[in-house]
Structure 1
Amino acid sequence: MAAEEVAAEEPGVGPSGEGGEGLVRSPASGEAIIILDPIVVGATRIGLNPFDLPVAIDIIGAPQIQDQAPQVRVSEVLNRVPGTVVTHRGSFAQEEQIMIRGFGGRSQFGTRGVKLIADGIPASTPDGQGGPGLFDLGSARDIEVMRGAFSALYGNHAGGVVQILTEDGPPRPTVSVRAMGGSDATWIQGVKLGGEVGSLNAILDTYRFETDGYRDWSNARKEQLNAKVRWRLESGADVSLVVNQLNQPQSLDPLGLSAEQVAENRRQAQPVARTFRTGRSLDNLQAGLRYEQSVSARDSLQIVGYVGSRSNEQFLAIPLGAQNAITASGGVSAFDRHFHGGSLWWSHENTLAGGPLSLILGGEYETAQEDRKGYRNDLGVRGALKRDEANQVTSRGLFVQSLWRFAPRWSFDSGVRYTQVVFDSRDRFICTPEWVTAPGMGPDRCSGSTQPITQTNLNPDDSGRRTYDAWTPVLGLVYRATPSMNLYANLGRTFETPTFGELAYRPDGRPGLNLGLRPALSQHYEVGMKLTMGSDSLLNLAVFRIDTDDELTVATNQGGRATYQNAPASRRQGAELRFDTAWAQGFAATLAATYIDARFTAAFPTCTGTPCRTLPPLLNQAEVRSGNRIPGVPPYTLFGELSYAHEPTGFMGALDVYAQGKVDVDDLNSAFAGAYWTLNLRGGFRQHWGPWEVSQFLRVENLLDRDYIGAVITNDINGRSFAPAAGTTVLFGLTASYVF
């Protein structure tokens, strides 16, 4: 194990034709080119090249997403976007964590603080909890990543927006099969079908992924299908139907390790993982319909509607004694969720004071209803009922956005949104001397507990309702200094509520929702430069500062269950750099670098054990000092890639490096995961024989077999904070396509 991998510190010390801006490879020749033509940017709702917008936004095209890649996790590609970090804990039981400008680091599973969208359909629930596992990379046209203030126009999050767009089917009917295999008994098989007949265009991608995992007790299987059908009507309207299904029948969770356990055997699972058979099963099905119509030469309309369902069951490592309490929610969390929603946008083109004006008005509605239950985890077997509630969260938003080119070299982008998020929980598990809705072993016993029900030992009605709302304005200014250089500035306010998962439990161990949590409010400030150098190079630079009140942070984390609290204030400030270039003879390079200083700017109490009380009488608490780093957020990241394509032989390959600074694991900054860097290599060949195209590749991750921590579990009370990343892994792949 590397000496700096984990350590302790003194507490308190501090083939797509639609492309996108960026470097791509021509599918026909392998030549490196940069696309700078105007494109539709979905993440900002303004149909312009990102070069002309006052916002940091990067687009990853299909070649980077699909070529010589597993096409399973977004962490394969998002590391090439500055300001963006994606971590996974080596387990598909915990979805990947996306952080943008330091937001999302608190997430214990999935993504928080970042809006996720798939073809106009939210991949985040109305409360802000997202799962990038829904993104199908095998059929992705591109992924758009927007950072900073303009995410205010999308509602309940603070860091940014990540949107994936499905490609259209090819002009001629085509079938493509892919097969991959590699380290840790990893196997991937996929099929993609697509084509166009008259006004109908369709694409379907489906695959199956399975692995034994790098660590013990991390087996997983993932099956996914993504399909899009697009009609072009005689009226000029465009109608798209998108269907996505995700099935993970059983993903085992090895849990986090302590620093001592990592040093002893980094591939081991936490012993209690086997005892309680920790893991998750998941099934998600959703469908959406999008209608786009130009209603006049200056006006257009877009309507989106979607519906879906999600079932989830997760086994947690909660001690049996803790589960026996009348107020405990057990060690098996299960829910069935149904969700639906829609949006309506109207856009208008006009002039104001002689300058072109684009105006967008819109509204969005999202709701999710779930039956959530908790059961005893009797050493890996689902036992008696411990929790039963009906939850609903609804989000409503109205927004207006405008872009005005008020002078030949100037443009002004502005917008404002009103967002309301309503949480409603109805408790159906009540155990009091007067009223028992969850009978157990006797008339005075509550389900799943041997303790008698008394006036002081009871599980009351914990129903509750909470409404959050906010106005979030944003302003941006662009100055075209030269035809190849734009300077910009923006400022805005974002709003982030707790999720239902973060409201679910109180740090003091008392029953009921944690309805005292307040939303986090952030003020964003940013200046930047965008520069093109001929037709083959681009450079983007952004400098930002974000001040947050009522930062949401983890209060306690034990056995896979976390509680949350508000920290008074925090600040994130830093810089982002992206550089892409292409040279003659098939060489190209990419650089993405980020520096961020993310700290709490006011002291506050935090928990050192459970139950915890941070107000008198104090229990299991300590003070977090002003100036401590926000846990989970690396101070710097660096991605660099050198690629080469040789057209006569059909060879394509690349060598890339990724580096990341040390990451604190708790608010007290008492321990950290050390800085690291890894080297990765890929290469392969492509052949054409009439209607056939065949390609082969070899991909080697962590080429030098370096030991490092891939993710941390923040504020874990037991010190099990570290998720070791895999050593050297190898993946072979073969793809064959036939054009009819």
Structure 2
Amino acid sequence: MLSLCLACALSPVGAAVLDPVDRQAPAVEAPTLQPVVVEATRLRGVPAFETPASTATIPLGGENNGAGGDVSEVLRGVPGLLARDRRNLAQDTQLSIRGFGARSTFGVRGLRLYADGIPASMPDGQGQLSHFSLAGGDRIEVIRGPFSALHGNSSGGVVQIWSAEGAPGDPWRARAAAGSDDTWSAAAQLLGAGARVDYNLALSRYDTGGWRDHSAARRDTANLRLGVDLGPHRRLQLVVNRVDVPEARDPLGLTAQQMRDDPRQAVANAHLFDTRKTVRQDQAGATYEHGLGEAHTLRLMAYGGRREVMQVLPIPAVAQANPLSAGGVIDLDNRYDGLDARWSWQRGAARPLEITVGGNLDQQRQHRRGFENFVGEALGVRGALRRDERNSVDNADLYAQAWWRFAERWSLLAGVRRSEVRFESRDRYVTDANPDDSGRVRFSHTAPVAGLTFAPREDLRLYLSAGRGFETPTFNEMSYRADGGAGLAFGLRPAVSDNLELGAKWRGRGGATLEAALFRAETDDELAVARNVGGRSSFRNVGSARRQGFEAAWAAPLGAAWDLRLAYTRLDATFREPYLICQGAGCTVPDTEVGAGARIPGVPEQQLFARLQWRGAAWSAAFEGEATGEVMVNDLGTESAAGYGLLHLEAARRWRGRHGELRMFARIDNLLDRAHAGSVIVNEGNGRFYEPGGGRGWLLGAQWDWTR
């Protein structure tokens, strides 16, 4: 059926409207790689090739053949990074880097996220990917390893998306796709540039009936980037974005037996309580850069936003009879804002030097309420108030870094960041049986980082880097105490990690690239799930942990029309000390030991990605393979999600006309229809650890690029 649809879509009927691209591909010279500067390193004049850090840049150009509904589509193939599409917009993408962030049951923790230089992570470390606009994006940058610590709290890695700058001639784009499971998407990107102002407006909608039962969802995003040239060495950038998820159904996790019986099912409680989530976020930010002569630059950034979340959980009414229960409906209203100011200085000459000094202030104001999820016999509706608190978190950071080529073959990058993070909660739901749980706590940390790069040849760099980072508990991790008591878990401590990395980078003249790194992170006061019941997780510090391994990425052109990309990750993530955990839904006193050497759940030991692509003059095609090793789903290691390998196939054809280009594309995911666990819910208290990945699915789409 798919092949028939594709043949019709790419038939000569379309060719009657547009002239086909020449069928004979012209001779292609070996490409010359341009220097890539990763802006998240804060080094304006230093290419990524020269930095002693593992970085990756993923272009978001016009040849993406996915639906555009999930960031995981484009993050495949980055070594050390695991992006899992949960087939569940109520819980967002699972994202981890070198094992950091793997414990998150929803959202992103342990990593720093940015959109056009504006934080997409709250001051407490909780982040979301939902407002990343793939339709308007130019590229995504990823930093792994010690230098992530220069971004402050919860920086086990950094992921940043950049919108495309406006371009002269108003190159506009419209895109639509439809596929399996009543899934469709539509997007438009409007680019333009005048003498002083350029713009990028991107609008998109993603709608799906869901691969699993009770998983239908819709997400609307809008992103506007304006650039204003204010004169020599002065520029203002304005960014406004909005995301609206009006109602995303949550099918919840499955047990191993349920997944074997029917991976597309939703558990009974998902239907009984109509488990679902609503998200609305509006955000705006401005960045102003002012050059002072040829060497000095001042950069000021300010932002603010509001994120509203309502979620219905499947907590039985009998469990809410406890006077300390927070109910079964979560209502969160987050308001946040911040500013960042930095000064940079660059010196060229024989021994180039670049220095950056700055500071930032961020604040988050959260109104958290909990309601019963029933009214009388009606379930899944907002009932009586059971929790009402005003929470706030503020951080004040100072940072400095310098890059210096102090000898012909040697360069040094060093930096330090001082962070102060303050949490406060004011309890407004106080009864005779539920006391006042107000409180506050403050954390501080100094993060030093240094890296040395050696250039034995023009095409080779060897480097060694080390640093110390930290991760405070987020408000969501503080929200429920492991002992079952009311109020926030103010007894949690930040996890502190010492990171070490040894790496190599090679660039061949024909366009081939190779990057490899050995890494180790030793963590004290590791944060881990203490128990997970009814969709609510509580956390505790469990001592020391270690994440160590090897990663490599290779890319090379194979002749004029073929390209090959490979990425491999080997990760050994373990707890280094024994600790006690709760077993069973009613447990509040840990009584079961997890032995030293147990694997950290949610982290596969091995990942492999391969993509072979062919580009002709009019046609293109690609074959992808990805493999993931076994993943433990609980601390005790009594259950695991089996490893799997998937194959994907895509093809596209282009027609060029006088004013634009039409491109039609098709993709088949999971070509062999392999059953697998797409993601896992770590330590889920009911044993429903597994979120099945999608079976074989198809997608057909069209994209029209034109100049007004």
Q: TM-score, normalised by structure 2?
A: 0.94
The one-letter code sitting in structure 2 at the alignment partner of 1:162 is: V
Partner of 2:16: none
2 CA distance for matches of 1:96 and 1:632? 14
365, 369, 372: which one aligns with 1:373: 369
> Is the counterpart of residue 730 in structure 1 residue 698 in structure 2?
yes
The one-letter code sitting in structure 1 at the alignment partner of 2:595 is: R
Partner of 2:118: 121
Q: TM-score, normalised by structure 1?
A: 0.90
Partner of 1:385: 385
The one-letter code sitting in structure 1 at the alignment partner of 2:605 is: P
SS of match in other structure, 2:302 = strand
2 CA distance for matches of 1:276 and 1:158? 36
Partner of 1:632: 602
Report the CA distance between 1:79 and its aligned residue. Answer: 1.7
2 CA distance for matches of 1:689 and 1:333? 53
2 CA distance for matches of 1:251 and 1:244? 20
2 CA distance for matches of 1:554 and 1:33? 51
SS of match in other structure, 1:203 = strand
The one-letter code sitting in structure 1 at the alignment partner of 2:510 is: S
The one-letter code sitting in structure 2 at the alignment partner of 1:640 is: A
Partner of 2:151: 154
Report the CA distance between 1:350 and its aligned residue. Answer: 3.8
SS of match in other structure, 1:245 = strand
Report the CA distance between 1:583 and its aligned residue. Answer: 2.4
Report the CA distance between 1:41 and its aligned residue. Answer: 1.6
The one-letter code sitting in structure 2 at the alignment partner of 1:239 is: L
Contact 1:630 1:664 in 2 (8 A): yes
2 CA distance for matches of 1:81 and 1:463? 43
Partner of 1:448: none
SS of match in other structure, 2:412 = strand
2 CA distance for matches of 1:391 and 1:33? 57
2 CA distance for matches of 1:61 and 1:224? 20
The one-letter code sitting in structure 1 at the alignment partner of 2:703 is: T
> Is the counterpart of residue 278 in structure 1 residue 248 in structure 2?
no
The one-letter code sitting in structure 2 at the alignment partner of 1:253 is: D
320, 323, 327: which one aligns with 1:323: 320
Contact 2:105 2:682 in 1 (8 A): yes
Report the CA distance between 1:737 and its aligned residue. Answer: 2.2
In the alignment, structure 2 segments of 5+ residues that lack a partner are 1-24
Partner of 2:402: 402
525, 545, 551: which one aligns with 2:526: 551
Contact 1:37 1:49 in 2 (8 A): no
SS of match in other structure, 1:406 = coil
Partner of 2:614: 644
671, 683, 687: which one aligns with 1:703: 671
1 CA distance for matches of 2:60 and 2:260? 40
Q: What is the aligned-residue identity percentage? A: 41
Partner of 1:139: 136
546, 553, 568: which one aligns with 1:593: 568
Contact 2:555 2:566 in 1 (8 A): yes
548, 553, 563: which one aligns with 1:578: 553
2 CA distance for matches of 1:33 and 1:154? 37
2 CA distance for matches of 1:35 and 1:118? 29
1 CA distance for matches of 2:477 and 2:395? 17
SS of match in other structure, 1:548 = strand
Partner of 1:419: 419
2 CA distance for matches of 1:335 and 1:268? 29
303, 307, 310: which one aligns with 1:306: 303
Q: Please, what is the CA RMSD of the aligned residues? A: 1.5
Partner of 1:339: 336
Partner of 1:14: none
Report the CA distance between 1:32 and its aligned residue. Answer: 9.4
Q: Could you say if the C-alpha distance between residues 348 and 659 of structure 1 is closer, same or farther in structure 2, counting changes exceeding 3 Å?
A: same
Q: How does 1:150-189 map to 2 (within 5 A)?
A: 150-189=147-186
Cα offsets for 1:92-129 (capped at 9, x unmatched): 00011110000011101011111000011111100111
2 CA distance for matches of 1:403 and 1:527? 18
2 CA distance for matches of 1:174 and 1:409? 43
Partner of 1:76: 73
The one-letter code sitting in structure 2 at the alignment partner of 1:656 is: E
Partner of 2:19: none
Q: Could you say if the C-alpha distance between residues 349 and 174 of structure 1 is closer, same or farther in structure 2, counting changes exceeding 3 Å?
A: closer
1 CA distance for matches of 2:394 and 2:402? 27
SS of match in other structure, 1:43 = helix
Cα offsets for 1:250-306 (capped at 9, x unmatched): 000000000111111111001111111111000001011011121122111111111
The one-letter code sitting in structure 2 at the alignment partner of 1:622 is: T
2 CA distance for matches of 1:243 and 1:173? 20
Contact 1:508 1:610 in 2 (8 A): no
Partner of 1:22: none
Report the CA distance between 1:30 and its aligned residue. Answer: 11
530, 541, 548: which one aligns with 2:516: 541
In the alignment, structure 1 segments of 5+ residues that lack a partner are 1-27, 433-457, 614-618
Report the CA distance between 1:89 and its aligned residue. Answer: 2.3
Partner of 1:521: 496
Contact 1:637 1:658 in 2 (8 A): yes
1 CA distance for matches of 2:431 and 2:445? 37
Contact 1:30 1:645 in 2 (8 A): no
Cα offsets for 1:498-546 (capped at 9, x unmatched): 0000001111111111111110000001100000111310000000011
2 CA distance for matches of 1:599 and 1:384? 43
Partner of 1:504: 479
The one-letter code sitting in structure 2 at the alignment partner of 1:511 is: A
Report the CA distance between 1:88 and its aligned residue. Answer: 3.1
223, 226, 246: which one aligns with 1:226: 223
Q: Could you say if the C-alpha distance between residues 31 and 625 of structure 1 is closer, same or farther in structure 2, counting changes exceeding 3 Å?
A: farther
The one-letter code sitting in structure 1 at the alignment partner of 2:584 is: G
Q: Could you say if the C-alpha distance between residues 381 and 197 of structure 1 is closer, same or farther in structure 2, counting changes exceeding 3 Å?
A: same
Contact 2:460 2:506 in 1 (8 A): yes
Contact 2:513 2:555 in 1 (8 A): yes
The one-letter code sitting in structure 2 at the alignment partner of 1:92 is: L
SS of match in other structure, 2:263 = coil
SS of match in other structure, 1:501 = helix
The one-letter code sitting in structure 1 at the alignment partner of 2:319 is: A
1 CA distance for matches of 2:539 and 2:480? 8
Contact 1:518 1:566 in 2 (8 A): yes
Report the CA distance between 1:74 and its aligned residue. Answer: 1.2
2 CA distance for matches of 1:30 and 1:734? 27
Contact 1:361 1:401 in 2 (8 A): yes
Q: Could you say if the C-alpha distance between residues 95 and 233 of structure 1 is closer, same or farther in structure 2, counting changes exceeding 3 Å?
A: same
Contact 1:242 1:288 in 2 (8 A): yes
2 CA distance for matches of 1:704 and 1:102? 29
Report the CA distance between 1:371 and its aligned residue. Answer: 1.1
678, 685, 701: which one aligns with 1:717: 685
The one-letter code sitting in structure 1 at the alignment partner of 2:55 is: I
Report the CA distance between 1:585 and its aligned residue. Answer: 3.0
Report the CA distance between 1:159 and its aligned residue. Answer: 1.7
Contact 1:624 1:667 in 2 (8 A): yes
SS of match in other structure, 2:213 = coil
2 CA distance for matches of 1:243 and 1:33? 40
2 CA distance for matches of 1:621 and 1:411? 52
2 CA distance for matches of 1:675 and 1:62? 29
Report the CA distance between 1:139 and its aligned residue. Answer: 1.2
Partner of 1:55: 53
Partner of 1:237: 234
Q: Could you say if the C-alpha distance between residues 424 and 35 of structure 1 is closer, same or farther in structure 2, counting changes exceeding 3 Å?
A: farther
Cα offsets for 1:592-636 (capped at 9, x unmatched): 1100000001000011124434xxxxx463000000000000001
Report the CA distance between 1:681 and its aligned residue. Answer: 0.7
SS of match in other structure, 1:132 = coil
Q: How does 1:189-208 map to 2 (within 5 A)?
A: 189-208=186-205
Contact 2:135 2:188 in 1 (8 A): no
261, 264, 267: which one aligns with 1:264: 261
Give the number of aligned pairs: 679
Report the CA distance between 1:361 and its aligned residue. Answer: 0.1
Contact 1:32 1:588 in 2 (8 A): no
1 CA distance for matches of 2:529 and 2:30? 45
